[in-house]
Amino acid sequence: MNVIDRRNDTFAGGQYIVLRNGYSQQAHTTQSSNTSDRPNARVDGSTRRGWESVTGMLDRIGCGYLVLNREKRVIEWNAAAQNTLERPGEAANMASELSAALRRLVANVPAHFLPGSLSWVVICSRDDRPVILNETGLLAPDGTCIVALLDRKNRSAANPGTLQRMFGLTSAETHLALRLAQGDAPLDIARSWRLSRTTIRSQLASLFAKTETKRQAELVALLGRISVLP
């Protein structure tokens, strides 16, 4: 069970949140990636597999991640992290550039990237300070930590095949579900697909029945949770 510890920082004028959970002994590792400065290869296999499951999940849902060493320097990352941290006219495709970009992003916010932790950096907009949520108790090799970059403007999508297998959706219903998850309105979808309102409403009613939801907002929330699945 998570306990949320909310702390106000007077100097920064903002609020940060620390999440403490109950899996302090659960092992996590990371994918091998873009740089030679990787966590020590002597780390046991179960730790590495667990850590890779975390970064793999972040990758599937379109969330950027950075792996930091003890000196808080970036040693691994994914493409979504590059896209999130790059600024117009400035590349962020090297470890040093990503390290500098991360420092700029959290410059005015208390950022305690502790060894073995998973820190979520929630980006509201480019002009606002991000919100940082620290999830402690993660066991990562060699004192590394994972920083997940969640841009609120980015929407992740569920795997179409997973949706069909879980709920028995038709191809048309699956495409409609994915469009709804992107924030499109049913009538706009009908116009773009040159379908009647009756057809779209019929497909939507079938979606509600198969997913056991009653409202569009409930369906979209469910699709967001499912986006984490492979």
3-state secondary structure 138-162: CECHHHCEEEEEEECCCCCCCCHHH
Q: Do 147 and 201 share a domain, yes or no?
A: no
What's the rounded Cα separation, in Å, for the pair 184 and 119?
A: 31
Residues of the chain with pLDDT > 90, as a percent, come to 32
Q: Do 136 and 178 share a domain, yes or no?
A: no
Q: Do 119 and 18 share a domain, yes or no?
A: yes
Pick from 74, 77, 30: nearest CA to 55:
30
Q: Which residues contact 28 (CB under 8 A, 6 or more apart)?
A: 47, 50, 51, 53, 54, 118, 138, 139, 140, 146
69 pLDDT more than 70: yes
Whole-structure pTM over 0.75, yes or no? no
What pLDDT band is residue 65 in, cutting at 50, 70 and 90? very high
- 101: containing domain: 3-151
> Of the residues 151, 186, 218, which one is the last residue of a structural domain?
151
Q: Do 189 and 86 share a domain, yes or no?
A: no
Q: Do 192 and 141 share a domain, yes or no?
A: no
What pLDDT band is residue 87 in, cutting at 50, 70 and 90? confident
- The SS3 assignment for 119 reads strand
Q: Do 27 and 135 share a domain, yes or no?
A: yes
Report the number of distinct structural domains present in the chain.
Answer: 2
Read off φ and ψ for residue 228, nearest 5 degrees: -75, -20
Q: Do 11 and 88 share a domain, yes or no?
A: yes
95's enclosing H/E stretch is: helix 95-105
**107, 14 contact by CB (below 8 A):** no
What number is the average pLDDT over the span 89-93?
Answer: 72
Q: Do 88 and 170 share a domain, yes or no?
A: no
pLDDT of amino acid 206: 95
Of 48-57, 128-137, 160-169, where does the model show the most confidence? Answer: 160-169
What number is the average pLDDT over the span 94-100?
Answer: 92
pLDDT of amino acid 15: 36
What number is the average pLDDT over the span 175-200?
Answer: 90
Of 82-96, 174-188, 192-206, where does the model show the most confidence? Answer: 192-206
pLDDT of amino acid 33: 43
What pLDDT band is residue 67 in, cutting at 50, 70 and 90? very high
Q: Do 145 and 193 share a domain, yes or no?
A: no
The DSSP bridge partners found for residue 108 are: none
> Of the residues 107, 128, 151, which one is the last residue of a structural domain?
151
Q: Do 140 and 173 share a domain, yes or no?
A: no
The DSSP bridge partners found for residue 15 are: 8
What number is the average pLDDT over the span 172-187?
Answer: 89
> Of the residues 128, 151, 174, which one is the last residue of a structural domain?
151
Q: Do 28 and 135 share a domain, yes or no?
A: yes
pLDDT of amino acid 16: 34
pLDDT of amino acid 172: 92
Q: Do 133 and 185 share a domain, yes or no?
A: no
Would residue 65 be called left, alpha or beta, if left means φ above 0 and alpha means ψ between -120 and 50 degrees? beta
Angle at the Cα of 126 from the Cα atoms of 56 and 74, rounded to 5 degrees: 40
Q: What is the CATH number of the domain that holds 193?
A: 1.10.10.10
